Structure 1
């Protein structure tokens, strides 16, 4: 049917859903067990929202349902591609995925702690950095006492590894 014969009100609104955290094409979607638990909890919340949609206004309900379904589609793709990394199997003396790393950064007096996690679990305010971040990349395979250097435009940032832990 020609678009000329479709009423304006019958046009289906395409939901605008923000993309999930960036995971480059071809990169394995590593997650910690905590990260997987968070993804599954998010899925349950979206399913609950879907079940509780108000049916008074059919048009608003359909738009809300399309939005939730679009978010679920992105989330389900992440869950299906997730590969849980067992932290107990990681080498204790080397930084790998899931490690909580204690670092002395440059001339700072106070050490900082960061955990290397999956892209969906990353949250710098909680000390969790994505395994694909530049900082994580320079830290991987380092050991206590090693220094990692992150080359920035105006300076090099030096990270001295003080501790490595895999307990959450």
Structure 2
């Protein structure tokens, strides 16, 4: 399986979630199952079935996170000499040349993308257009509404 790029912040977030699932959530669910079993007949015990459902979801999420981390290529953008180019992990400020609207995006892995927090997937059309470009370059991005031209105002590696 190919390695999936992941920023250090994204990896740390997944590791923290995994730790909480294993050390807090899992023991709480085991305790809830034990308590529900103590109430007797399991066939009609809603608490037992709810706890088992939570356990199934939790174990599935643990497996999913462990798989993501094992297939991740964790990239520390601060250690890469990008020579002023847009690379994975870079934070880029761009300006729409038509509307003059400025936005800032960090280019991250697919699992980390969150447009509301200004993080776009490395596979998105905007990120693909920006990769390898430098400050003051103009890039054209094909969108559903047509082509949009952006100028790269700044690139930061944080």
Q: TM-score range by the shorter chain?
A: 0.7 to 0.9
> Which of residues 46, 52, 76 is equivalent to 1:86?
76
Q: For 1:80-130, what per-residue CA distance to the aligned partner results, in whole angstroms no more than 9, with x for missing partners?
A: 111111212140400000000010013233421100011121111110001
SS at match of 1:66: helix
SS at match of 2:64: helix
RMSD: 1.6
CA separation in 2, counterparts of 1:137 and 1:127? Answer: 16
Cα distance, 1:135–1:28 mapped onto 2, change above 3 Å: farther
CA separation in 2, counterparts of 1:110 and 1:153? Answer: 18
> Does structure 1 conserve the Cα–Cα contact (< 8 Å) formed by 2:96 and 2:102?
yes
Structure with greater helix percent: 2
List alignment gaps of at least 5 residues for structure 1.
1-25
Cα offset for 1:149? 0.8
1:62 paired to 2:38: no
1:156 paired to 2:147: yes
Cα distance, 1:125–1:27 mapped onto 2, change above 3 Å: farther
> Does structure 1 conserve the Cα–Cα contact (< 8 Å) formed by 2:2 and 2:71?
no
Cα distance, 1:150–1:27 mapped onto 2, change above 3 Å: farther
Structure with greater strand percent: 2
> Which of residues 66, 72, 79 is equivalent to 1:76?
66
List alignment gaps of at least 5 residues for structure 2.
38-47
Cα offset for 1:147? 1.1
Give 4+ residue runs of structure 1 displaced > 4 Å after superposition.
none
> Does structure 2 conserve the Cα–Cα contact (< 8 Å) formed by 1:92 and 1:165?
no
Cα offset for 1:45? 2.1
Total equivalences in the alignment: 142
